[in-house]
């Protein structure tokens, strides 16, 4: 899936990956997809929870070199 924006949060600890995602998603149009790269293991819990609470669609995660890539569709 193609992402409209990408944010590199590799090396940042909780809650910074979620805070970066929230800031970027606020500037995106509904339906656009954000790809967030994170190495903090808590992002696997925090990002889906953030999406549920904010109404965004969590599209999944895949392993990448140095961390995990998370896909989020803006509501």
What digits encode the pLDDT tens for the residues 3-17? Answer: 999 999 999 999 999
Q: Which pLDDT score, from 0 to 100, does residue 29 have? A: 98
- Catalytic residue status for 14: yes
Given the residues 14, 16, 19, 59, the one annotated as active site:
14
Sort strands 57-64 and 5-9 into parallel, antiparallel or unpaired. unpaired
Burial of 54 (0-12, 13-18, 19+ CB in 10 A): middle
Query: How confident is the model at residue 1, as a pLDDT?
Result: 84
pLDDT in tens, 24-48: 999 999 999 999 999 999 999 999 9
Are the beta carbons of 56 and 72 closer than 8 angstroms? yes
pLDDT at position 17 is 98
pTM: 0.96
Supply the pLDDT for residue 3.
98
């Amino acid at each position: 899936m193609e992402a409209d924006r990408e944010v590199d949060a590799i090396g940042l600890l909780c809650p910074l990956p979620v805070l970066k995602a929230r800031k970027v998603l606020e500037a995106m149009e509904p339906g656009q997809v954000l790809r967030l790269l994170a190495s903090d293991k808590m992002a696997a819990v925090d990002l889906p929870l953030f999406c549920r609470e904010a109404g965004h669609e969590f599209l999944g995660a895949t392993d990448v070199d140095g961390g995990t890539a998370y896909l989020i569709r803006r509501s």
